[in-house]
């Protein structure tokens, strides 16, 4: 079984491929000769099942960027991260955001890490509440 990081990376590739081909993510999954890791499957299926809700959140909390205008890799990462924040409540918000930021820094533009961090943080605040400050 792959690590969650590897599963997220595979889900990113599958979501990106689906969008680039204009196919449903589930159709891309069905075409795989070897099924992806179970967590990657869960992410891709979750993004597909909640796409309208996810894109509505991205539109609502993005500043000056429409969803179609976002770089494709960022858009795929933001959809995966938003799915995890909204529909995987046991995952710590910091883990979800940090993983998405690291993947953005690796696979997208030089400014993508900051963009993904800021947008997922706003969405996390909405979905999970603002994190409490730890007294010094």
Residues 6+ apart with CB under 8 A from 132: none
Q: Is residue 35 in a domain?
A: yes
- What is the token pair recorded at 90? 């046991």
Distance CA 136, CA 126 (A): 25
Mean pLDDT score across all residues of the chain: 92
Q: Is residue 32 in a domain?
A: yes
Distance CA 75, CA 83 (A): 12
Q: Is residue 134 in a domain?
A: no
- Residue 27: domain span: 4-128
Secondary structure letter of residue 109 according to DSSP? -
What's CA 56's distance to the chain center, in Å? 14
Phi, psi of 43 (to 5 degrees): -65, -50
Confidence of residue 7 (pLDDT cuts 50, 70, 90): very high
Q: Is residue 80 in a domain?
A: yes
Q: Which tens digits make up the pLDDT trace of 49-66?
A: 999 999 999 999 998 889
pTM: 0.92
Query: What is the tally of structural domains in the chain?
Result: 1
CATH number at residue 104: 1.10.940.10
Q: Is residue 107 in a domain?
A: yes
């Amino acid at each position: 079984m792959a690590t969650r990081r590897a599963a997220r990376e595979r889900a990113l590739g599958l979501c990106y491929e689906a969008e680039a081909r204009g196919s449903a993510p589930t159709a891309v999954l069905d075409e795989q000769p070897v099924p992806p890791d179970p967590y990657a499957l869960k992410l891709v299926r979750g993004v597909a099942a909640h796409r309208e809700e996810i894109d509505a959140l991205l539109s609502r909390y993005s500043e000056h960027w429409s969803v179609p205008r976002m770089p494709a890799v960022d858009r795929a990462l933001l959809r995966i991260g938003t799915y995890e924040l909204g529909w995987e409540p046991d995952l710590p918000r910091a883990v979800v955001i940090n993983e998405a930021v690291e993947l953005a820094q690796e696979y997208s533009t030089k400014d993508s890490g900051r963009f993904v961090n800021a947008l997922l943080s706003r969405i996390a605040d909405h979905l999970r509440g603002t994190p409490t400050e730890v007294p010094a």
